[in-house]
Amino acid sequence: MSEFQAYLQLGFNHITDSNGYDHILFIMAICSVYTLVDWKKVIVLVTAFTAGHSITLALSTMGYVNVNPDVIELLIPVTILITAFLNFFYKTPKNAYAPKEKAPAFRYPLALGFGLIHGLGFSNYLRALLGKEADIFTPLLGFNVGLELGQLIIVFIILVIAFAMIELLRVQKLSWIQILSGIIFGMALSLILNNELFRTLAGMPVDS
C-alpha cells in the first residue's frame, strides 16, 4: 500500500469511526433539513464545510496554526449544538405545490466557519500520526481525500434515509427535521456536559 493510500484509509476510518461520532453528528445536523431531491444544495453546503476544514487542517498540520486541543474538543460539540438548534427554525412551504423553499443563506457561511473548527480537530489526529515526519504533503492530501470520501458516504446515507422517511413513509418533513435535530441536539449537549474543559470551567467534578 502506498503512503497516499495508507493516509487515505486513515482519513476515511477517522471520519466514519463510530467511537468518534462528533464529526458524523455535525454532518447529520447540517444535512438533516434536506433529502435526495435537494442534492444540489447539499453539494454547495458540504463544499463550504470541506473548504473550511481543509484550510485549518493544512495550516495546523504544517504548524502555522496552533490551538489547544482541549478547546477544540469543546468547540466541536458546540458547533453541533448550534446547527441542530437552528434546524428547529427551518420552515417548509405551506402549499405543497409552492416552489421549493430556499435554504437560508446563513447555512453556507455557518458550514464554512464551523468547518474551520472541525479542521483543527482533524489536524490533532493527523499530527499524532505524522510525528516528526518531514514530508507532509502526501499524507495531508491522502488524509483529506479519505475524509471527503467518508463524508460523502455519510451524506448519501442521511439523504436516502430522509427521502425514505418523507417520500415513502409519508412522515411530515418538518416533523422529521425536528425529531432528528432533537436527537442530535441531545447528543451534542451530552458531549458538552461531559467535556473535561467544560466541567472544569463550570466548577463541576471531573472524572479522574
pLDDT of the chain, 208 residues: tens digit per residue: 689 999 999 999 999 988 788 999 999 999 999 988 888 889 889 899 999 999 999 999 888 999 999 999 999 999 999 999 999 998 875 554 444 555 567 889 999 999 999 999 999 889 888 876 667 889 999 999 999 999 999 999 999 999 999 999 999 999 999 999 999 999 999 999 999 999 999 999 887 5
pLDDT number for residue 133: 66
Q: Which three cell numbers stand for residue 55?
A: 484550510
pLDDT number for residue 99: 45
pLDDT number for residue 96: 44
Of the candidates 87, 84, 82, the residue with the CA atom closest to the CA atom of residue 113: 82
Q: Which three cell numbers stand for residue 53?
A: 476544514
Q: Is 47 exposed, middle or buried (0-12, 13-18, 19+ CB in 10 A)?
A: middle
pLDDT number for residue 104: 65
The answer to whether 206 and 197 are in contact (CB under 8 A) is no
CA dist 133 and 136 (Å) reads: 7
pLDDT number for residue 145: 93
pLDDT number for residue 208: 58
pLDDT number for residue 1: 66
Residues 110, 183, 200, 15, CA torsion sign:
negative
Q: How far is CA 105 from CA 35, 109, 118, 191, in A?
A: 18, 8, 21, 28
The answer to whether 111 and 52 are in contact (CB under 8 A) is yes
pLDDT number for residue 134: 65
- Residue 188 CB partners (closer than 8 Å, separation 6+): 25, 29, 77, 78, 80, 81, 84
CA dist 137 and 187 (Å) reads: 35
Q: How far is CA 207 from CA 53, 65, 189, 192, in A?
A: 31, 30, 18, 14
pLDDT number for residue 24: 94
CA dist 154 and 32 (Å) reads: 12
